Structure 1
Amino acid sequence: MAKRKVLMTGASGYIASLMLPTLRDRFDMVLADVSDTDRDGNKIEGIQIANFIDTDRSKYAHLFEGVDAVIHLAFKPHVTRGEVSEKAPIDRFDNEHENVQMANNIYRSAYDAGVRRLAIASSNHAADWYEHSLIHDRKMDMVRPTDFPISDNFYGWAKAAYELLAYPYACGIFGRKLETVMLRIGFTRPIVASDYTSANSMSEETAGGLAEFKRNLGARISPRDITQLFTKAVEAPNIENEHGVPFVVAYGCSDNTRRFWSLETARKYLDYQPEDDTEITYAKEIAELITGPEANVRGGKVGI
């Protein structure tokens, strides 16, 4: 049986690096990004240079030819990693507007080329208002994919916009249904205990200290689970809902004891069966920081 041909955008990025060793064997991969090197300057084999923000889609239309599915990971960050943003959050709209434009360029190019399926890297931030305002204050226990997508920042707004923008392509109003899976990816980095306790090592992702440590225990998705999730998003035989629309929004995290996002749609439509749980993977770190005899940290999913 011939391998599915899959186009991956953002192929020189971090999330791509977690999945490519497996996906290269499973699919006939077409790789594209604005750079053919990763953040450390290492060259990534097989990447074709393409800027998907460019509204002249003829420049990259050839990449979609004969493709069965697109894994869209590319996005334009508002700062280069390691830099400090000089723009206040309220001034970041223009950057995120470009990311929405890029998403539409992907959808339209895929539609025009006859691509069957999209697997899009949305983000948990598409509905992060619930997390920031309710989950951490213990006013809500679980955010579900069916909860109205609301965010308190433009990054999350853009991800929610990606999702809504794809629905007209999926529902068939333009002539055919472009099958779409929106994956609200969680925390993808390894969890290093000292990053949450040492002022010298804290980053934007760990600056919340022990509260952030607990949050990331719930939010993390392991490399093998994210690889499984995207693989099944490409391969799931039928993702139509009860109305006949092939459109799925699913959270992407491991089956963590402390998770606060529901995996119901990932299980139902994609048969996602996560294998990892941070409570086991990071048992030593948990004992050291928040459950040991000297710890004075409130139990549960989030908060301290």
Structure 2
Amino acid sequence: MPAPRTVLLTGAAGGLGTLMRGLLPAYGYELRLFDVAPVQGEPDAITADLGDREALRAAVRGVDAIIHLAGISLEASFDKILRANIEGTYNLYEAAREEGVRRVVFASSNHVIGYTPPPAPGDVLIPIGITRRPDTFYGLSKSFGEDLAQLYWDRHGIETVSVRIGSCFARPSSVRMLSVWMSPGDGARLFHAALTAEGVGHTVVHGSSDNTRLWWDLSTARSLGYEPQDDSESYAAELIAEHGELDPDNPEHAHVGGHFVTDPPIWPR
């Protein structure tokens, strides 16, 4: 597809959204910003909830593509996850369908496979087609989003790249994150590839840098033209000295989802 120029960035006030606001314009994109919270320093940003279908449709109108980062990014009650991540993502896809937008980049998550054990050193990396094992209502909502993306491709011809993001921060902050970290620069490279690759249909990719301690296979991401340039290993000695190596007997270390598999669940109230 031709390189999209105007891109709707939902969740623009969040951590990842803030990073991408600074990085994606260098690739030639004009960003239209959307968030339930005001975007500081961006008076033209759209402040609205994903449940406001009229505002969402207006935000989508005329854009070439959408990067959907909005929603709750941690565990919460099912009711809250339902409204923000499940119904909100449905509303986004309906707006895209109604306004004729043909490409979405969906921020999925490693928590879709959170109960998967990480590979031991030397083992085969986790493939993209592994059985989904969500670790939370949050992970479940991202699994739903991937299925919704598949439906809208099969039924309506809206292409999506679902990116199972590991952890995208300026630097990793834990030993686990050495395996799942995606540098902000690599995040922008991956989103750019996802926006511009031809014939993606619905493609699911793992989102991380090319880390020495990498847990999952990046081949589907590379097939889009993604060329990661960063590696978390430069932070390894400092983090291991502070926290120690991963302990396979610790449930937080024995599953891809980390502490999401051990934190007390947040049930509806």
Give the TM-score category using the shorter length: 0.7 to 0.9
Report the Cα offset of residue 287 of structure 1: 6.8
Report the Cα offset of residue 237 of structure 1: 2.2
CA–CA distance in structure 1, aligned partners of residues 129 and 100 of structure 2? 29
Report the Cα offset of residue 10 of structure 1: 0.6
Residue 185 of structure 1 pairs with residue 165 of structure 2: yes
Shift in CA distance, 137/96, structure 1 to aligned 2, threshold 3 Å:
farther
Q: Secondary structure at the match of 1:221?
A: coil
- Partner letter of residue 130 of structure 2? D
CA contact (8 A) 1:3 1:28 kept: no
Residue 129 of structure 1 pairs with residue 115 of structure 2: yes
Matched with 1:95 is 80
Matched with 2:264 is none
- Partner letter of residue 222 of structure 2? R
Matched with 1:243 is none
Q: Secondary structure at the match of 1:180?
A: strand
Fraction of identical pairs, as percent:
35
Counterpart of 1:282 (choices 222, 232, 235) is 235
Matched with 2:19 is 18
CA contact (8 A) 1:135 1:141 kept: no
Report the Cα offset of residue 191 of structure 1: 4.2
Which runs of structure 2 are paired with 1:38-49 in the superposition (5 Å)? 42-49=40-47
Matched with 2:265 is none
Q: Secondary structure at the match of 1:60?
A: helix
Shift in CA distance, 22/137, structure 1 to aligned 2, threshold 3 Å:
closer
Q: Secondary structure at the match of 1:122?
A: strand
RMSD: 2.8
Which runs of structure 2 are paired with 1:177-216 in the superposition (5 Å)? 177-191=157-171, 213-216=174-177
Counterpart of 1:51 (choices 49, 52, 56) is 49
CA–CA distance in structure 2, aligned partners of residues 222 and 163 of structure 1? 23
Counterpart of 1:62 (choices 49, 58, 66) is 58
Aligned residues: 247
Structure 2 unpaired stretches of 5+: 255-269
Residue 142 of structure 1 pairs with residue 119 of structure 2: no
Matched with 2:259 is none
Q: Secondary structure at the match of 1:119?
A: strand
CA offset digits 1:115-165 (Å, max 9, x no partner)? 0100011111011110xxx22788x75322111222131111111011011
CA–CA distance in structure 2, aligned partners of residues 265 and 65 of structure 1? 30
Residue 235 of structure 1 pairs with residue 196 of structure 2: yes
CA–CA distance in structure 2, aligned partners of residues 137 and 255 of structure 1? 17
Matched with 1:8 is 9
Q: Secondary structure at the match of 2:63?
A: coil
Shift in CA distance, 161/285, structure 1 to aligned 2, threshold 3 Å:
same
CA offset digits 1:101-127 (Å, max 9, x no partner)? 000001110011110100011111011
- Partner letter of residue 198 of structure 2? P
- Partner letter of residue 99 of structure 2? A
CA–CA distance in structure 1, aligned partners of residues 12 and 159 of structure 2? 21
CA offset digits 1:12-60 (Å, max 9, x no partner)? 11101112123234112111111224xxxx4335311121123xx2233
Report the Cα offset of residue 262 of structure 1: 1.2
TM norm structure 2: 0.82
CA–CA distance in structure 2, aligned partners of residues 164 and 12 of structure 1? 26
Report the Cα offset of residue 233 of structure 1: 0.8
CA offset digits 1:246-266 (Å, max 9, x no partner)? 000001000001010111110
Residue 169 of structure 1 pairs with residue 152 of structure 2: yes
CA–CA distance in structure 2, aligned partners of residues 3 and 252 of structure 1? 21
CA–CA distance in structure 2, aligned partners of residues 184 and 2 of structure 1? 23
Residue 35 of structure 1 pairs with residue 73 of structure 2: no
Matched with 2:257 is none
Q: 1 or 2 for the larger relative contact order (CA 8 Å, sep ≥6)?
A: 2
- Partner letter of residue 162 of structure 1? G
Structure 1 unpaired stretches of 5+: 79-88, 193-205, 207-212, 240-245, 291-295
CA–CA distance in structure 2, aligned partners of residues 298 and 276 of structure 1? 22
CA contact (8 A) 1:12 1:44 kept: no
